[in-house]
Structure 1
Amino acid sequence: MSLISAGVSDLIATWLDSLRALDDASPATITAYQGDLLGFAAFMGSYHGAAASPATLRGTDLTAMRAWMAHERARGLSARSLARALSAVKSFFGWWAERDGFDPSNVLSTRSPRHRRKLPRPLVEDAAKSLISQVELQAPQDWAAARDVAVVTLLYGCGLRISEALSLTGRDAPLPEMLRVVGKGRKERQVPVLPVARQAVEHYRRLCPQDLTADGPLFRGVRGGALSAGTIQKAVRAARQQLGLPSTATPHALRHSFATHLLNRGGDLRTIQELLGHASLNTTEAYTAVNSARLMDVYRKSHPRA
C-alpha cells in the first residue's frame, strides 16, 4: 500500500516547482527538500494507517509532529538534519496554507531540535598560502597548474564559493578591481579583487590552449569544457595530504579562511557579510565564535594560572 496519495504528491511537486521558479533554489536543495517532504508524508501515512491525503496532513497536530521527530531521531537522523527537514516541512505548510487558506499553526509552532552550531574551520595564514603553492604542483600541464592556482587564489583572495569562481566567463577577464559576483539565490554583490588574484588569472589566460570566448567559461577542463569543481577538490586534497593538513582543508575552507583572516586584522562583520554574500548576519557571526575559541585556546595554553 502506498503511504502517500496522489494529491499530496502533486502538492509537493507544485511547491518544489515554485521554489525552482521563484526562489531559484539549487538542484541539491530541491532534491533534499523533496526527500524531506516525501519522508514526512510517508510517516504520516503510516501514523494514520492510510495513505497520507491533503485532508489528513492539514489536520496534523503537535502529537503527530512529535511522533515524526521521535521516529526520525530513532532511525539515526542527526539533530542538524532533523532541523533541516523540519524547516522544509514548515516552508511547505506555510506556502500551502497561504495558497489554500487553512491554519498551519500546529506545524509552524513545532520547536526545532537543539544542535550545536557547526563552526567554520579555517586554515592559519601560512597554511593557506602553502596550500595554494602546493596546488600548483598537482597538474601535469603548466596551463592546468596555472588554472588551479588562479581558482584557489580567488577562493582565498576574494572569498568566493567554488561555484562562483567556476561560473565566471571569458567576458569577466581581465578581472576588474571590483568584480560582480552572482551568488546563492541569484543575489549579486561586488567584491574587490587583489592584484595577486588578477595576476594569477592573467597567467592562466596566457598559458591556456583553449579559445576563451566571451560567452564561454573562463576556467576550462583539459578537454575544453567547463572546469568541474571535482578537479579543484582533487588538487586541493592531494596538496593537503602532501602538506600534512587535516581533511578540513578543502576549497571551501579557503573561503572560511578569507573571512577569518579579515576579522583577525580588524575587518567588521557587516563588511565581511557583504563580501561573502551572506543573507543573514547570523551566518557571518560564526567567525566571531571561531575567534573566541582560538583566544580561549591560547589563554589556556599560555596563562601561568590556567
Structure 2
Amino acid sequence: MNDPAPPLSIQWAAHLARDRRRSAHTVRAYRATAERLVAFLQGHWGEAASAAMLARVTAADLRAFLAARRAEGLGNASAARELSAVRGFLAFAAPQAAPPGLKGPRVRKGVPRPIAPEEVMALAGEVADDAAEPWIGARDWAVLLLLYGAGLRIGEAIALPARVLPLGPTLSVTGKRDKTRIVPLLPQVRDAIDAYAAQQPWVLAPHEPLFRGAKGGPLSPVMIRRAVRMARGRLGLGERTTPHALRHSFATHLLGRGADLRALQELLGHASLSSTQIYTAVDAAHLLDVYRNAHPHG
C-alpha cells in the first residue's frame, strides 16, 4: 500500500527549499501562510481543500481570506506579503488554473516619510525572500536592519569592514568627512549580521568589506535600492519608501519616544544640530497626520 502524499503545504515548502533555494525562515513563513489559507478555505467551503478545489479559488475567496487576516490585526504591508505568498502557493498547487485577479492592499498616497515598524519589517522580509540565494537574503535583511535599527546611511552600512566582527553592543561607524561615531546595536541587528556572516561563502579578511556582492566583490548600494524598489511595489508601499527613509524612520521614531536632540545628532553623525532639527518638523507632521485620520473631527 502506497503512503499518502504529504499535504500540499508541505510539498510547497519542500519545493521552496529544494528548487527555489529559499531560506529556512522564508520556507517556514510561506508554509504557515499556505496552512492558514487551506484551513480558512476548508471552513469557508465546508470541505477539504484539495488541489482540484484550490484550482477554483476566486478573487472573492481571497478577499474573504484577507479580510479574516486583517481582522486579526494584519497591516497593509503584511497583508500584501501574505497575498504574494498565497499566489505562489496556488500557482504551485494548481499550475493549470488562471490566478485570481486580486490586487493587494495599498498604502494611501502621500504617506509621511517615517515608515511604520510593521512596514519596515515587511519590506525587509520581502527583499530577503526575493533574493537569489539564502545568504544574499540574509545579507539584505542585515543591511536593511542596520539602516532602521542603527540609523546608518546606506553607504556607511555597505562600507563596514569585516574587522567589526565579532560584534559587541556597539559599532564604530565612519560617516561623512571621515567622522567616526559609536552607535548601539540592538540584539536583533547583531543577530542578523551574525546570521549573514555565517552563511556567506567568502573569506572575510578584516580589511575587506563585510557585505559582499553575489560574485564576492563589494556590495553596491544600487543593488539594495533596486531590491527595495521592487519590494515596495509588490507591497503597495509609496515611492518615499527608500533605504534612506529607513534612517529617517529610525530618527523620527526615537524622537517620538523622547530622545534628546543632541543625542540624536550624535547617533546620526550630523555635523550640525540644524540637520537634526528637521526631524522635529517631520515628527510633528506625522502626529498631525495621524490625528487627522483618527479623530472624527480632525
- TM-score range with shorter-chain normalisation? 0.5 to 0.7
TM-superposed CA distance for 1:235, in Å, is 1.2
User: Which residue number corresponds to residue 292 of structure 1?
Assistant: 284
Structure number with bigger Rg: 1
User: Which residue number corresponds to residue 166 of structure 2?
Assistant: 174
User: Which residue number corresponds to residue 196 of structure 1?
Assistant: 188
Q: Is the counterpart of residue 131 in structure 1 residue 119 in structure 2?
A: no
Name stretches of at least 5 consecutive residues in structure 2 with no aligned partner.
1-111
State the secondary structure of the residue aligned to 2:239: coil
Q: Is the counterpart of residue 162 in structure 1 residue 148 in structure 2?
A: no
Q: Deviations over 1:189-244 (max 9, x none)?
A: 10001111111011011110111111111001111110100111111111111110
What is the distance in 2 between the residues matched to 1:185 and 1:269? 21
What is the distance in 2 between the residues matched to 1:288 and 1:233? 26
Aligned residues of 1:150 and 1:200 also touching (Cα < 8 A): yes
Q: 1:258 aligns with which of 250, 260, 266?
A: 250
State the TM-score, normalized to the length of structure 2: 0.60
Specify the code of the residue in structure 2 equivalent to 1:290.
Answer: V
Q: Is the counterpart of residue 145 in structure 1 residue 157 in structure 2?
A: no
State the secondary structure of the residue aligned to 1:136: helix
State the secondary structure of the residue aligned to 1:224: coil
Aligned residues of 2:114 and 2:286 also touching (Cα < 8 A): no
User: Which residue number corresponds to residue 8 of structure 2?
Assistant: none
Aligned residues of 1:128 and 1:257 also touching (Cα < 8 A): no
What is the distance in 1 between the residues matched to 2:206 and 2:295? 57
User: How many percent identity over aligned positions?
Assistant: 53
TM-superposed CA distance for 1:295, in Å, is 2.6
Name stretches of at least 5 consecutive residues in structure 1 with no aligned partner.
1-119
What is the distance in 2 between the residues matched to 1:132 and 1:268? 28
Consecutive aligned runs of 4 or more in structure 1 exceeding 6 Å deviation = none
User: Which residue number corresponds to residue 95 of structure 1?
Assistant: none
Within-5 A mapping of 1:9-88: none
What is the distance in 1 between the residues matched to 2:120 and 2:171? 22
Specify the code of the residue in structure 1 equivalent to 2:131.
Answer: A
Q: 2:231 aligns with which of 223, 229, 239?
A: 239
CA RMSD of aligned residues (A): 1.4
Change over 3 Å in CA distance of 1:302–1:153 after alignment to 2: closer
What is the distance in 2 between the residues matched to 1:281 and 1:123? 23
What is the distance in 1 between the residues matched to 2:182 and 2:173? 6
What is the distance in 2 between the residues matched to 1:146 and 1:204? 5
Within-5 A mapping of 1:271-290: 271-290=263-282
TM-superposed CA distance for 1:264, in Å, is 1.4
User: Which residue number corresponds to residue 260 of structure 2?
Assistant: 268
- What is the number of residues matched between the two proteins? 187
State the secondary structure of the residue aligned to 2:129: coil
TM-superposed CA distance for 1:304, in Å, is 4.9
What is the distance in 2 between the residues matched to 1:147 and 1:305? 46
